[in-house]
Amino acid sequence: MTSKGPRERLILSAIMLMCERGVHATGLSDLLAHSHTARGSIYQHFPGGKSELMEQATYAAGRTISSLLDDLLAKDDPERFVDGIIDYWKQVLTGSDYAMGCPILAAAQAGPDEPAVQAASAAVFASWVDKIGTALTSVGVEPVTAKSIASTAISAIEGAIAQCRSTHTIEPLDDVRVALKRLIEFARPR
């Protein structure tokens, strides 16, 4: 991480710590220690302090996961998208011994004291719903149904990630995989 500049290191550290601890449990001293940056770096690169850093980290994490979604959805096979995203989260969870969750969910749970962070999470979630909904529409699913399934997919996957972390098992993601594939199959034209 040290080959990157302080701004990039702070954003990467914020994402990592959000995934593990959430927004409120991540303090400035944690961010500085994890990113190996000087205290002044936060305010130099993020004049709004920790809130601005967490907001920008949410957008950055959203772009990374959006890129994965784009790759998975480019195959014009929504069922393969489900497999790909579920497999991704299973790898993240098991690879971190269930310590890492979704940074966008962490941002959403930041609470009313962090409106910009919550707004960033809402924007990222909305973009994911749009991407998935557009992909479903492109394979013949009615637009209203496609949007509903896309929203359900995000909610189900995010909820399963939270369950997996608390139970230390990937079973909730396996359940979501089966349910989403059936839902998509049912919605596609015959």
pLDDT in tens, 54-64: 999 999 999 99
List, for residues 66-88, the tens digit of each pLDDT value.
999 999 999 888 888 999 999 99
Question: Does residue 51 contact residue 114 with C-beta atoms inside 8 Å?
Answer: yes
Question: What is the set of domains in the chain, with CATH numbers?
Answer: 6-187 (1.10.357.10)
Percentage of residues in the chain having pLDDT higher than 90: 90
Binned at pLDDT 50, 70 and 90, residue 190 comes out as confident
Question: Does residue 10 contact residue 29 with C-beta atoms inside 8 Å?
Answer: no
Residue spans of alpha helices (H) in 22-114: 28-35, 39-45, 50-73, 78-95, 103-108
Angle in degrees, CA 79, 82, 88, rounded to 5 = 145
User: Which residue did the predictor score with more confidence, 3 or 38?
Assistant: 38
| 51 SS3 class | helix
Question: Does residue 62 contact residue 13 with C-beta atoms inside 8 Å?
Answer: no
- Quick one: which of 46, 76, 39 has its CA closest to 188? 76
CA distances from 151 to 37, 128, 134 (A): 38, 8, 12
- Interatomic CA distance for residues 92 and 100, integer angstroms: 7
- Quick one: which of 124, 160, 131, 162 has its CA closest to 69? 131
pLDDT at 21: 95
